Amino acid sequence: DAKTTQPNSMESNEEEPVHLPCNHSTISGTDYIHWYRQLPSQGPEYVIHGLTSNVNNRMASLAIAEDRKSSTLILHRATLRDAAVYYCILRDSNSGYALNFGKGTSLLVTP
Amino acid sequence: ETGVTQSPTHLIKTRGQQVTLRCSSQSGHNTVSWYQQALGQGPQFIFQYYREEENGRGNFPPRFSGLQFPNYSSELNVNALELDDSALYLCASSLAGRGAMGYTFGSGTRLTVV
């Protein structure tokens, strides 16, 4: 799987939107962009994924650049429960299995 | 729909011993994968099982082995434990052919090797 680059940490105020960036300049045409988050003392949790078009679900939105070399996970209103490590992962739908986690972005949400 | 459950939640073993960790996959999922997460690091892929056979493996030595049972539950076995095996072991399940969709992870087993 191609590699991704994320900031080590970010901070946000509660109730404000959060934009978590991810660079993936070597992305291939069959790579899906996945986001997972890991709350303290829990396993990773699926957040959202997309291929080319922007995606929305109840948890977040995913904005994908037109050239697909970067993407942004958007939390519309951060809450204290959103404090977690967020992982951006590229996954080739043709090659099967492994999720290649990096170190992710540690999001701190302050009241 | 039940999620992924892992047992035990915590375990302490002595160097050189063997350990077995267990995982029940989410209802409807037929593929199980295992990850090792050292403190402060992202999870690292160990291997995946589908139809009771290993169909993918990460960079882990043969002393890490596994099983998948007909009910899709799974075990991770680690022989000859080393201090560096101390980590959080995560199990994830998915539906084969829907790999582009999300995996469901358990909360993990915290293994400490002393």
What confidence score (pLDDT) does residue B95 get? 83
Q: Is B81 on the interface with A (CB under 8 A)?
A: no
Query: With an 8 Å Cβ cutoff, are A96 and B55 in contact?
Result: yes
Q: Is A96 on the interface with B (CB under 8 A)?
A: yes
Residues A111 and A80: their CA atoms lie apart, in Å, by: 7
Closest B-chain CA to A41: B107
Contact status, residue A35 vs residue A62, Cβ threshold 8 Å: yes
What confidence score (pLDDT) does residue A92 get? 74
Regions of chain B where pLDDT drops below 50: none
B32–chain A nearest CA distance, Å? 10
Residues of B in contact with A45 (CB under 8 A): 105
Look up residue A94 and give its DSSP letter.
Answer: T
According to DSSP, the residues that pair with B19 across neighbouring strands are B78
Three-class DSSP category at B87: strand
Query: With an 8 Å Cβ cutoff, are A103 and B44 in contact?
Result: no
Regions of chain A where pLDDT drops below 50: none
Q: Is A104 on the interface with B (CB under 8 A)?
A: yes
Query: With an 8 Å Cβ cutoff, are A97 and B106 in contact?
Result: no
Q: Is A97 on the interface with B (CB under 8 A)?
A: yes
What confidence score (pLDDT) does residue B21 get? 98
Q: What's the 3-state SS for B6-72?
A: EECCEEEECCCCCEEEEEECCCCCCEEEEEEECCCCCCEEEEEEECCEEEEECCCCCCEEEEECCCC
Look up residue A27 and give its DSSP letter.
Answer: -
Closest A-chain CA to B42: A103
